Structure 1
Amino acid sequence: MVLAELDVIRPLLVCPRCRAELESDAAGTGGLRCAAPDCAYHASPAFPDAAGRPVLVDFEHSVVRREAVAALASPAHVHRGADALPTPLRRLAKPPNRAAAHNIDLLLRALPGPAPTLLVVGGATVGNGVEAIYRDERVRVIGFDIVKSPATQFVADAHRIPLRASCVDAVLVQAVLEHVLDPAQVVAEIHRVLKDGGLVYAETPFLQQVHAGAHDFTRFTASGHRYLFRRFEELAAGPVAGPGTQLLWSVDHLVRGLTRTALAGRATRAALFWLRGLDHLVPPDFAQDDASALYFLGRRRDREMTPEEIIAYYRGAQVPS
C-alpha cells in the first residue's frame, strides 16, 4: 500500500475550525494546535494524537468527541460488514466491484503530472474495486476517517476537512456520504480542497437497507446524487449495481429479521448470489430507477447546475403521466 508520508502532507494540513496553519503543541505533548491566537484550538492541548496520527477534529461541531478519541482510534470501530463471513462465502456475498475498478482506472489515467495527490475521504478500509490507487506508485494517497487505520494518516471529520483549499488533484469518497450528517457540506468541502479541474469519484447507496447502525442517514436517487455534485461536470455516472443486487439486499435483511441474526442474512445472500446476474438483464433506464447504489465521476467546476437542468437530467424509465 502506497500512502504519502505524514511529513510530506503536513504542509497541506490546516485547522478544521478556522483553516489557519498548524503548529506543534506548546505543551510538548506531540500534538498540534492552531497557529491563529484568536482560534479556540490555539490553546494547548488542542488537537490530540492517537497512536501517531493527529486527530484534526473541530470537536464542537462533530459527532467525534474529544473524550472518545482513544476509543475511536481503535481498529475495532471500523465497520467490517461481509468480512465477518468465512473467505469462500465472503466473495459470494461481496464480489469484486467492477464498476469501481473501471472508473478508478479512468480516474488514474486522467490524473495530471508525475506525482498527483489523491484524497480518500472515509478511508479507514480500502474500498472494493479501488485497490489500484494504493498500488500506483505515481499517486500520493492521503486518507482520513473518524477512526485510526493503517490506510489513513490522520483522523478527521469530513464536514470540516483539515486541508488547504485547492491542494489535491482527486478525491475518492466511496460508500461514505450515507454516513455523514450533511452530505452537501461534505461535497462542498471536497469541492474546496480540489484544484481547478480536479476529479471526484463517489459511490453512494440508493436502495439499500440500514448498515452501520446509528451512523447511517441518507440515500440518493440518480437525480439526487447528480444534484449533490451539481458544481461538477459529469464525466460518467450510473448504477454500481442494479435491481438483482438490490433484491439480494432485501432478502438478506428479511432473513436477518426472521432469524434475528446478521450472519444468517449474509449467508443467504451468498447462497443466492446468482440473483446478482439479473442486473445484466435489466435495461439501463429501468436499472437507474432501481439501483442498489450509484456512482459519479466528475470534474470540478465553478458553475452550478440549475433546477431546470436537474429536472431535464432524469434518465430513468418513468414517463410523465
Structure 2
Amino acid sequence: MALIELERVRHLLVCPRCRSTLADARGGLHCTSPDCPYQASAGFPVSGRWPVLVDFERSVLSREEVATGAGTDLTRPIPAGRADRLPAALARVWKPPNRVAPQNVDLLLRALPGPAPTLLVVGGATAGNGVDAVYRDPRVQVIGFDIVASPMTQFVADAHQVPLPSASVDAVLVQAVLEHVLDPALVVAEIHRVLRDGGLVYAETPFLQQVHAGAYDFTRFTASGHRYLFRRFEELAAGPVAGPGTQLLWSTDHLVRGLTRSDLAGRVARGLMCWLRILDRLVPASYAMDDAPAYYFLGRKRDAEMSAAEIVAYYRGAQTTA
C-alpha cells in the first residue's frame, strides 16, 4: 500500500482553524498561534494513534465524543461491509464493481507529475469502489483522512477544514463523500486550496440514490449541479457512474424494504433483479445523464471559474426546451 507513514505526514499538518503550525502537547497537539483558541495544551486530542484535527465548534464531531468514545468509536477499525464478507461471486451481485472509476483513476495517475506525487484521499476510511490502483501504485504517496479513524488514514479531520497547508498535494480523491458533508461547496473550496497549481481532482457524488448513512446524508447533485460545484476546475472527464437500470434496481430494493419493513427482503429483491443493471448499456448517454445514480468528475485546478451562462450551456441531457 502507498499510504505514507504518519511520521512523514506529521510536518505537513496544520491547525484546522487558523492553519498555523502544530506543536506536541500532553495527550495531543496544539496550535502555535497565540491568537487561536486551539493554542491551549488540550487543543487537539489523539485517539489511539490518530491525531484528531477537528475544529469542534464547527463540526458534527464533538470533543466529548472523542473523549468518551460516544457515538463512533474512533479507535475501532471500520468493519467490513456485507458485500466484503460474501463469496466473490455473490459479492459482485450485491456490490458490482464500479466500471468507470478504474478508467478515470488510470487517467488521474497517468497525469500526475514527478516521481513521487502526493495524493489526498478525502473520506478515506475505507477503500472506494474501483479506486484500488491509487493504493497499489508505488510511485504515489497517499495521505488519507476521515471523520472516523481507520488503518487507511493517518489522522481524523473534518473535510470542511482540511488540516494541510495550501498548495501541498498533487491530487485529491473524493468518492461518495460530498453527500455526507453539510457544505459541499466549502469542501470543494478546501480541495482547491490544498491542491498545487494544475493539481487534479477525481470525485464521484450521488444524484438519484436513496439515503444512506442515516442522519449523515445531506445532499444530491444533478450533472450540471455537480459540474458547477467544481466550477474552478478544468474538466478532463465527466459523466454518469451508472445508468437508469441501476437506479431502478436500487429503487426496487428500497420499495420492497418499505412494503415489507425488512432490509433483508429488499436485499433479496435486489439480488433477484440484478439483471436490471444490464439495461444501462442500452440507454444513450444523454438519457443516462438525466437519470443516473451518481456522477463522476475528473478535473484540473484553475483560477478562473465557470459563469452562469456557461453552466446553463453545459447541460448534456436529453431534454429540450421550446
Range into which the TM-score falls when normalised by the shorter chain: over 0.9
- TM-score, normalisation: structure 1: 0.96
Preserved contact between residue 77 and residue 149 of structure 2 (Cα < 8 Å): no
Structure-2 separation of matches of 1:317 and 1:85? 39
Structure-1 separation of matches of 2:76 and 2:251? 29
Structure-2 separation of matches of 1:272 and 1:62? 40
Question: Which range moved further: 7-16 or 257-266?
Answer: 257-266
Preserved contact between residue 47 and residue 75 of structure 2 (Cα < 8 Å): no
Match for residue 17 of structure 2? 17
- 1:197-245 per-residue CA deviation (whole Å, 9 max, x = no partner) reads 0000000001001011000011000000000000000000000001000
Match for residue 270 of structure 1? 271
Preserved contact between residue 93 and residue 267 of structure 1 (Cα < 8 Å): no
Structure-1 separation of matches of 2:261 and 2:187? 34
SS in 2 for 1:280: helix
Q: Give 1:79 shift.
A: 8.8
Q: How many residues align?
A: 318
User: What letter matches 2:153 in structure 1?
Assistant: T
Preserved contact between residue 204 and residue 295 of structure 1 (Cα < 8 Å): yes
Match for residue 198 of structure 1? 199
Match for residue 220 of structure 1? 221
Match for residue 7 of structure 1? 7
Preserved contact between residue 171 and residue 201 of structure 1 (Cα < 8 Å): yes
CA pair 195-81 structure 1, distance change in 2 beyond 3 A:
farther
User: What letter matches 1:243 in structure 2?
Assistant: P
SS in 1 for 2:37: coil
Preserved contact between residue 160 and residue 183 of structure 2 (Cα < 8 Å): yes
Match for residue 248 of structure 2? 247
Alignment of 1:38-49 (within 5 A): 38-49=35-46
Question: Which range moved further: 267-276 or 178-187?
Answer: 267-276
Structure-2 separation of matches of 1:187 and 1:237? 16
Structure-2 separation of matches of 1:75 and 1:317? 47
User: What letter matches 1:44 in structure 2?
Assistant: S
State yes or no: 1:61 paired with 2:58. yes
Q: Give 1:269 shift.
A: 1.3
CA pair 128-80 structure 1, distance change in 2 beyond 3 A:
same
SS in 2 for 1:302: coil
Q: Give 1:75 shift.
A: 3.8
- TM-score, normalisation: structure 2: 0.95
Match for residue 311 of structure 1? 312
Q: Where in structure 1 are there 5+ consecutive unaligned residues?
A: none
Percent of matched pairs sharing the same residue? 71
Match for residue 292 of structure 1? 293
SS in 1 for 2:108: helix
Taking only aligned residues, the RMSD between alpha carbons, in angstroms, comes to 1.5
Question: Which range moved further: 121-130 or 254-263?
Answer: 254-263
Q: Give 1:263 shift.
A: 2.5
User: What letter matches 1:62 in structure 2?
Assistant: S
